[in-house]
Amino acid sequence: MGGAVAFAGNISGRVICGGHPVTGVPVSDGKDIVLTDSNGRYSIDSDKQDGTVFVITPSGYIARSLDGLRPGFWQPLHLPAGQEEIHDFVLEKQSQKRYSMILLADMHLSNDPARDDIRRFRTEVMPVVRSLAADAAGTVYTANLGDTTHDIYWGEFNFNESDGLRLLQDICYPTPMYTIMGNHDHDPSIVGEDVDRRSGWREVDCWGPGQYSVNIGDDHWIFLDNIFYVNVEGKGKKAPGVKGDRSYKHILTEEQFLWLEKDLSLVDEDSRIYICTHAPVLYSGGKNSLLMPREQADRLNALLSPFSQDVTVFSGHIHRNDILDHPDYPRLHQRSLPATSGIMWTTPVDWPLYSSDGSDAGIWVGEFESGKAPEYRLHTYRYGERYYRFYDLNKVGEAYRDSEGIKKQQELYSDTRLDYGQKKWRNYVMFNYWGWEPGDRVEMYEKGKRLKVENTGYEDPVKNFAYELPRVMNPYKHSRKSSRDITYHMYGTKTSSAKTPVTVRVYAADGTLKHEETFQRPYPFNPSGK
């Protein structure tokens, strides 16, 4: 690694900017990394197994766009390992002292006429994206964290990963987009030996390698495919073109770890590092839990230990806001994103889009500047910047008692599903605070008196009405979900009467007041938004 290279490899080329060579640019085949010499030339002796060659773009540059959407930092390898091929890269200078990153995950574009996802993406999601791109600070990029499309519908609705790319190109998506693979971006028709690599062919063809990195400003961004596709043949849900059960593991391969070690060896120890994966590393599925195997989290943590600044991991996959730390990994911060598609476009087409934790669906954007802590904002599709919802369970209870869906749900699952129509919930209020960050504190007041607030974990009633009840009432869609949903950022308390206002205050870990609002009661419950 490093230094001038001897031109003896089967992949070679130049890296230039403005017609001039760029020295010291890392170039990789997904396994080895070499640096360009004083003439901008590189050479790699590669087994070509990963199928691409790519540059790790230096700070202050971006690779010339392939199509106005995808930065051209990578190229496919077409010839067998025994044959030489040449791949040149063109960089363009770019101001990056201040920049913004639009964070997308789980678009789940499928062309399903019942879900009407393509129209909703165009009319509900894209106006927010365009507004963010126009108003965000500095140069703007997008990180797409996987599940751009939905594998089980590739054959049924004739819309696969290539179609998802064409849609984004056709609507003139407004920023450069860096993408990583999700579990639903694999080809479900491919089974058997080496299925993880072979089934990712469409994703690689559209979006590039399964592990790569870019330098933006003072920061190093790493993109890692941590979905290992298994797809056991003959099992699972059947659909046109699906030959397996579409199963997978949340892991990195040994090759990815070895590449990551080489990549990090080229990064200044004072740099900020951001890692983008589809599946989270840290996870609130249980107390202090992980989604990756602990030995892999330990190994990742060890590779990051030489760096002086904390590391943030951005992920999708779980379709909810999940911002958390872990006591065993104090320098690793997880920011899991709600799905761009809400609950995969399954809520009623004329209702607001909601996420799986009951939050209003929307898009996070991060703003980054040299020498300053990053700032994050969530923009919902219907309500702008919003981080919480208040529930008066007296009004929620009325809706539950009037709902045929609730009656059916209770007939099926009375021992597990909450029924907010019961008398025991009278005069309770709840606060779904999906903007929760580690150390945040929620307080509630009635008549100036501070109430005892609990982090209840209770299921969100809006999510129940928007997603669960339509499935209960539709035998075709009914998945017999009997377990009680857990909303990790749901807070509750009991008030003294049905009509007293409740004031909610949210404080950050340092005591700063983040949010304050007084809710007049009775407070309406209106999941349809009508």
216 SS3 class: strand
On whether both 295 and 405 belong to a single domain, the answer is no
Three-state SS sequence of 310-329: CEEEEECCCCCCEEEEECCE
Is 288 among the domain residues? yes
Q: How does pLDDT run across 363-406, given as a tens digit for each residue?
A: 999 999 999 999 999 999 999 999 999 999 999 999 999 999 99
On whether both 131 and 265 belong to a single domain, the answer is yes
d(CA 377, CA 102): 10
Nearest in space to 275 (alpha carbons), one of 221, 321, 322: 221
On whether both 66 and 153 belong to a single domain, the answer is no
On whether both 336 and 419 belong to a single domain, the answer is no
Domain end, chosen from 385, 402, 431, is at: 385
The two structure tokens encoding residue 256: 């990815």
On whether both 425 and 406 belong to a single domain, the answer is yes
For position 192, which CATH number holds?
A: 3.60.21.10
pLDDT of residue 2: 40
Percentage of residues in the chain having pLDDT higher than 90: 89
User: E strand or H helix at 396, and its extent?
Assistant: helix 393-402
Question: 153 in the Ramachandran plot: left (φ > 0), alpha (ψ -120 to 50) or beta?
Answer: alpha
Radius of gyration of the chain (CA): 24
On whether both 82 and 112 belong to a single domain, the answer is no
On whether both 332 and 433 belong to a single domain, the answer is no
pLDDT of residue 287: 52
d(CA 171, CA 149): 16
For position 64, which CATH number holds?
A: 2.60.40
Q: 119-128 contacts: CB < 8 A, separation 24 or more?
A: 120/345, 120/349, 120/353, 121/167, 121/341, 122/171, 124/353, 124/381, 124/382, 125/340, 125/363, 125/381, 126/171, 126/173, 128/362, 128/363, 128/379, 128/381
Q: Which residues 6+ apart lie within 8 Å of 440 measured at CB?
A: 433, 506, 507, 508, 509, 514
Is 38 among the domain residues? yes
The two structure tokens encoding residue 480: 């017999």
Indicate the number of domains in the chain: 3
Residues 475, 480, 486, CA angle at the centre, nearest 5°?
A: 130
On whether both 411 and 487 belong to a single domain, the answer is yes
Give residue 351's domain range.
98-385
d(CA 129, CA 134): 9
Q: DSSP letter at 145?
A: -
On whether both 428 and 329 belong to a single domain, the answer is no
Domain end, chosen from 368, 385, 402, is at: 385
- The DSSP bridge pattern shows strands 11-17 and 89-93 to be parallel
pLDDT of residue 237: 78
On whether both 84 and 151 belong to a single domain, the answer is no
The two structure tokens encoding residue 162: 């290539």
Q: How does pLDDT run across 462-516, given as a tens digit for each residue?
A: 999 999 998 888 765 545 555 677 899 999 999 999 999 999 999 999 999 999 9
Percentage of residues in the chain having pLDDT higher than 70: 96
Which residues of the chain, if any, have pLDDT below 70? 1-8, 284-288, 475-483
Kindly give the residue spans of alpha helices, DSSP state H, lying in 106-199. 117-120, 126-135, 161-170, 195-199
Beta bridge partners of residue 16, listed in sequence order: 21, 90
On whether both 392 and 429 belong to a single domain, the answer is yes
**pTM for this one?**
0.95
